[in-house]
Chain A
Amino acid sequence: MTAPVLSIKGLTKAYPGVVANSDVSFEVMEGEVHALLGENGAGKSTLVKMIYGLVKPDHGSMTFQGKAYAPAEPRAARAAGVAMVFQHFSLFDALNVAENIALGMEHPPRLADLAGRIREVSETYGLPLDPFRTVGDLSAGERQRVEIIRCLLQDPRLLIMDEPTSVLTPQEVEILFQTLRKLTAEGVAILYISHKLEEIRTLCDTATILRLGKKVATCTPADTTARALAEMMVGTVLHTPERSGRALGDVALELSGLSIRSPSAFGCSLKQISLAVRQGEVLGLGGVAGNGQDELLGALSGELRSGPDMVRMHGKAIGMLGPMERRRIGLLCAPEERLGHAAAPDMSLTENAMLTGSLREGLERRGFLDWGRARGFAEAIIARFDVRTPGPGNAARSLSGGNLQKFVIGREVMQRPEVLVVNQPTWGVDASAAAAIRQALLDLAAGGTAVVVISQDLDELMEIADRFGALNEGRLSRIRPTSELNIEEIGLMMGGAHDMEVAHV
C-alpha cells in the first residue's frame, strides 16, 4: 500500500459557461479507499468521467500504475484496469443476472461458464447472488451486487463507486463494506463518491474534497468530524434546522388498510398500509427505493385511486378523488422525480408554477388562465426559496437539480397545504439547500400542517421526523417515535421480516 495506482495532475475541463474542474491533482494509493467529496455541481462526476474515459480533459495528465493514461473511451479504461459502478444501474429487468453480465462483456463466454465464474466471485467476496435469477425480481442491494460482480470479473486495479449506498439498508451497507475491505486487502484501490459523511469516516482512508471544480483539501476522514467535512464542502458554516416544540392537533390524514396494485410491471404494490398524521406532526417514512414509495405518493396525490375509505382527510373519505380535488381540500404533494413528474422539463417556471398552483393560488378563473399572476407566483417562489435562475421565463430543465428541487418544494409549501407529502425532498440537493428545505418543512409543521416525508436519507428523517415508519415490499412497519430509535433498529424496520433473507441468500 505504497505506490500510487492513479495519480492526477492539473486536470481541467470546461463546458460552455461553466468550469467543471479546474487544476485538480491528487493520488489514489494501492489498497486504499479514497473518498471524493463535494456538493452537487462541485465537479465530482466530471472528474470521474475523465478517469473512466467518458470525457476528455482540456488540460492535465493522468498516470495509471506508473504509465501515462489517457483513455479515449470507457473500453480503453476497462482494458487498463479501471472499473466503475454507476449510481443508476444499467440492467435489463427482463433478463437474468448472467445474461445481463454477458451483455456488458466484449467476448462473453458460454452462459454456463459465466455462471460458474459469477458464483466463484460472489463467494470469494461475500456477495451472495444466483446467476439465474431475473433482475426484475432483485432488490436494489442485489442489483448493485450484479454491477459490482460485473466489474470484479474484469479484475480491476481501480474500482470507482458512485454513491453506492444510497439504495441500501444499513445491514446491506455493512455487507458492502466488508466486500470493499476484502478488495483493498488484495491491493485494489477504490475511489468512493458519497454524500454520507459518517459512512466516509468509517470506511475511507483518505478524502479529497472538491468545491466549485477546485480541490480544497485532502484529509484523513477518521481524524475529523462529519460537520467539519460538510463545512469544507460548502465553504461556510452550516446551520442545523431548528425544531420548536409543537402542539399536535387533530388527525389530518389517515390511511386505513390502503392496498393498491402498482401500475407498472416491476413496481411494488401497496399492501394494507395504515397510518395517521396529526396537524403539526412530521411523519418520516424510510425504506429502500422501490419498496412502494412512488406508489404511496401516487395514492396520496390522487394519481392512483383507491377505495374511498382507504384515504381520509379530516375524517372525510377521499380515496376516489383525483389530484385537482385533493389540492382543493389542501392535500398537496411533491413527487421524487423532478423532471417529468413534478415539473415539465421544457416548460418555463411560470408554466410549472401553474402546473399545481392554478387552483389554490387563483391563477385560473372558470377555465381561463391568468399568466400574469402565475408569473408573480413563480417569482415569489424563486425569491423565498432562493432559486438560482435568471427568471421565471426559463425552462425547468435549465435549472440545476438542487435549484429545481427548491422550486418544486417551494411551490407546494407556498400554497399553504393542510397536509403535505414529499418524496425524497433533498435527493441530489447540496447541503445548504437541503437545510433550507428541511427548515421549510419544519416551519410548515410548526404552523399546523401535517407533513409526511418519504426519504431514503435516514439522517434526514432522524433530524426532522417526530415518528418513523419504514416501507418494505409495499408494507409499512409499525410507526414509532423517532426519539426512541437507533440506527440498528431502523435497519431492521427497513428490512422488514425478510431482512435476513436479503443478507444470506
Chain B
Amino acid sequence: MENKKLFHVSTKTIVATALGAAVFTLLFMFVKVPSPIPETSFQTAYGIAGFFGALFGPIAGGLIAFIGHAISDGVQYGSPWWSWVIASGISGFGFGLAYKYLKVEEGVFGWKDVLTFNIIQIIVNVIAWVVVAPVLDIVVYAEPVNLVFAQGAIAAVMNAVSVAVIGTLLLLAYSKTRTKAGSLSKEDEAKS
C-alpha cells in the first residue's frame, strides 16, 4: 500500500469533494433539528464532512464543508455568512487530519480507530466553533462576546455529536464493505 500523503489531490479527491459538498448542501438545508438556542441547530451534514474527511483527506473535508455551507447559505439567505462558512471549512479540514491515522479503505476500523477519529474531531470542533467562529463574528460584526461564545459552545457540542454518531456509523458501515488486505490465501496445492 502506498504511503498516505495528507495533501495529495487526485481526480478522485476532487470528484469526492464535489459530490460530498452536494450531499452536505442537501443535508444542511433539509435534514436538521432545531435547537433551543436561537440561530443554531443540530446539523447532520457535519457527520458527512467527517466521513468524507476521514476517507479522502483534509483538502476534501475542508472544501466539502466550505463549499456546502457557502452554497446552502447562498440559497437560503442570499449571501454566505462568511464568519461561519470559514469556521465550517476549518472544521472539515480538521476532520480530514484523521485520514493519516486511519485505514478505512482497507477495511480496518476498530475501536482504537473510532477513538482516534473522535478525539481529533472533538478537538477540531472546539477550535472551529469556540475560537474561530466567535472571534470572526466579534471582529466583523462586533457581536456581543457572551452571545457568540454561548452560540459557539452549543454549536461545538452539537456538531461533535453529529460527527461522533453519523460519521462513526458511516465509517463502520463503509469499512465492513471493504476487503481487508491479506484476506485471501492461496489454496493448499496438495488439495488441487
Query: A and B bound?
Result: no
